[in-house]
Amino acid sequence: MKRLLLAALVAYTPLSMADVTVDVHKVNTQGSGDSIGTVTFKDTQYGLLVTPDLKGLPANSVHGFHVHENASCDPAEVDGKMTPAGAAGGHFDPENAATHQGPYVEESHLGDLPVLIVDDQGNATKPVLAPRLKESNLAGHALMIHEGGDNYSDKPKLGGGGSRLACGVFSQQ
């Protein structure tokens, strides 16, 4: 009887309870390049647990890490110049906060994630927590890794993360 009940519960578990995994690729003005790994997202009682499994990044570095508005990593013209993963648009900001204050500030882009930390071997595996996000926010958007760090400020522009280094697309589910 217990096995039957357990099987019934598993069968009726909503699909949104499954982890979301995104393949991440380096980007340039011609498009997406080699895969650098995956990032897995999981809802927890404290927010969205973000677990990277990435390789081939600049050693001992810190990178801006965000959910972007559109589900595309294609290059596009932005401010008059071809931009790697420019079709991803800006940071995911459904409340139109129009400010980049980081993942822990309510009046900020919802797509702001904690910075991505890379070890001395070029690997990023340290999990981070995005307390304001849920798996249900991800579908139809892109995950972006910027070349530079992030100071969670609007100055320099969007915290100084700089160019787009790598990108992955969340499925439409």
Domain annotation for the chain: domains and CATH numbers: 16-169 (2.60.40.200)
Residue 29: its pLDDT value, please? 94
Mapped onto helix, strand or coil, the DSSP state of residue 9 is: helix
Q: In terms of pTM, does the model score above 0.85?
A: yes
Q: Kindly report, residue by residue over 124-154, the tens digit of the pLDDT.
A: 999 999 999 999 999 999 999 999 888 888 8
**pLDDT(4) > 70:** no
Residue 7: its pLDDT value, please? 39
**Hey, CA dihedral for 155, 151, 129, 70, is it positive or negative?**
positive
Residue 17: its pLDDT value, please? 58
Q: Kindly report, residue by residue over 97-131, the tens digit of the pLDDT.
A: 888 888 999 999 999 999 999 999 999 999 999 99
Residue 16: its pLDDT value, please? 45
Residue 173: its pLDDT value, please? 59
